[in-house]
Amino acid sequence: MNEHSIRNVVIVGGGTAGWMAAAALSRYLDNGYTQTSLIESEDIGTIGVGEATIPPLVNFNAMLGIDEDEFLAATKGTFKLGIEFVNWGQIGHRYFHPFGNYGHDLQGVHFHQLYLRERSQRVMQDISAWSITAVASSLGRCARPGPETRPRCRG
């Protein structure tokens, strides 16, 4: 430690961003002399919109050394399959943006490029038919997105 070492970090504002910043700084500044503090308003309640529960959260938890299965069991949590946008583009239109992949790439060509080529030549189902997360969501089911998909929800 020298006179230029960080001794105190103060995060002003709670919520998802504040608490995630505090968790990351506490993990990476865990050197015995740096203290991380978080100050949040008692007047502003928790919104809980899940803005941080997008796919990169998996990497964030791994960075902090959090075991995802233990975390889900302790919090009685589940996976977010995607985000539905209501009145997207026009009133009455809905768009579901699934997390995870569409189909499988073929010899270095991305699936969506193959899909768009085929769709330009013939009538095709919507691309969401090739997304396990979109299909699972439309059926009221849940599965962990990715190559090793395992059920994580109760119906």
Catalytic residue among 80, 110, 141, 152: 80
From 6, 53, 70, select the one nearest 33 (Cα to Cα).
Answer: 6
What is the tally of helices (H) and strands (E) in the chain?
5, 4
Strand-pair partners of 98: 82
From 38, 30, 35, select the one nearest 11 (Cα to Cα).
Answer: 38
Q: Is 76 an annotated catalytic residue?
A: no
The CA distance from 48 to 77, in Å, is: 13
Strand-pair partners of 66: none
The CA distance from 17 to 59, in Å, is: 15
The CA distance from 84 to 25, in Å, is: 32
Active site residues: 80
